[in-house]
Amino acid sequence: MSPAEPNPVAPAPAASPASAARRRTVIDALRRGAVPESGLDLLATGLDRFEGALDAELESVASGGAVFKAVRGEYGSGKTFFTRWLGERAKRLGFAVAEIQISETETPLHRLETVYRRLTERLTTSSFPPSALRPIVDAWFYALEEDALAADVSEDELAGEVEELLTARLADVSRHAPSFATALRGYRASLAEGDEATAAAVLAWLGGQPHVAAAARRSAGVRGDLDHFGALGFLQGLLTVLRDSGHRGLFVVLDEVETLQRVRSDARDKALNALRQLIDEAHSGRFPGLYLVITGTPAFYDGQQGVQRLAPLAQRLATDFTTDPRFDNPRAVQLRLPGFTQESLVRLGVAIRDLYAAGAAAPDRIRRLADDAYVADLARAVGGALGGKVGVAPRLYLKKLVGDVLDRIDQFDDFDPRRHYRLTVNSGELTDVERNSAAAGSADDIALDVDV
């Protein structure tokens, strides 16, 4: 496969109709109270206003550009849902995708080598689940061999021609991170010698893993572990490998960046500066093919313990949100998710009811007993259990709708949710934000009837 000019990118194609497997993936996740990993297009309501601008940005990235996007919203506004929905659109266009949870202990943003390691661990494509690093690298070497053979080299000359192509393709990367190309050579050499253990260890080092055996590193000609500054060079190298192996780009989400507000001030300042550096490097053209998204709460973007703490970063992310949300600019660097209203929560519930019914043994009974009016009643009840804060209700509402109501209707012929079900919310099943919102005399149990 040749790294020739990329084909023009059409708008993200519509996903295939809901198969039994896709429905099951979505419903199983909602039953657990989690955001589905895939199938988000089946639930996407109210996101059509973003589609045109975001598809145009994906097209720009696939053509060699780079985009940075900041998504803002309160808890429950659907930030994770939104980024996974956008990631699915990117994956259908041939992007590789990685979602990274930022946390003080597991993935501190001020240590970009750790962020890069998580990226390679969670790298996925339309064909391969995480980690897709090895199949991507193998596909790259295959593409180099195909390009060499297309130049009519003999079998004896093939290895040398591949080495020349490797050097040429990674020339820009090698100026910043020469060990990236060195490690790739070491990986290929180990495979040629039939030394699978060393090849796997070298690839782990290439993916940013620490504590790789010294013997494997010596064999590949590399030393030490990846550091903060080397991580940027390795990201640049990964983008080159992705492009040459037939992928259109890399879509990366740094989720829950607002956790920076809770770390030590010195670590917070380093993390904010790392974020500023990523934005500047992307805009400078160093990372062609990168679509980078961060998510955070309004307090992170507007508060003195977040973005506003670093003036250059605040300037880069500044966006006008003083107008009616209907007129928010989806092309701006920041996108505002307004969160759920009672009406939009009911629409989502109806969509999930219909999705569930499509795979149920008795779809008519599902739609009759969990009709639109009951779906709306349950939404109001869950919102009431959380102090009337509809914005924090979606996760719990969908969990109750699927696990407590629809599953029972599907399994028990004589179950009627209006007669046999009373909503109960135990504090143990709530997140911290939901627990703080719960308006109850007792923190242990909330009981609400949902009779009409």
For residue range 65-106, what is the model confidence (pLDDT) as tens digits? 999 999 999 887 889 989 999 999 999 999 999 999 999 899
Among residues 409, 298, 407, 390, which one has the least CA distance to residue 348?
390
- Give pLDDT, residue 437: 63
- Give pLDDT, residue 10: 41
Confidence of residue 411 (pLDDT cuts 50, 70, 90): very high
Q: Rounded mean pLDDT of the chain? A: 87
Question: How many Cβ atoms from other residues are within 10 Å of residue 319's Cβ?
Answer: 14
Q: Between β-strands 249-255 and 423-426, what pairing exists: parallel, antiparallel or unpaired?
A: unpaired
- Give pLDDT, residue 435: 65
Q: What are phi and psi of 445, to 5 degrees?
A: -155, 135
Q: Is the pLDDT of residue 3 over 50?
A: no
pLDDT > 70 fraction of the chain, expressed in percent and rounded: 88
Confidence of residue 448 (pLDDT cuts 50, 70, 90): very low
The average pLDDT across 334-341 equals 87
- Whole-angstrom CA distances from 388 to 206, 312, 404, 407, 415 are 50, 38, 21, 26, 28
Q: Does 443 or 161 have the greater pLDDT score?
A: 161
- Give pLDDT, residue 7: 37
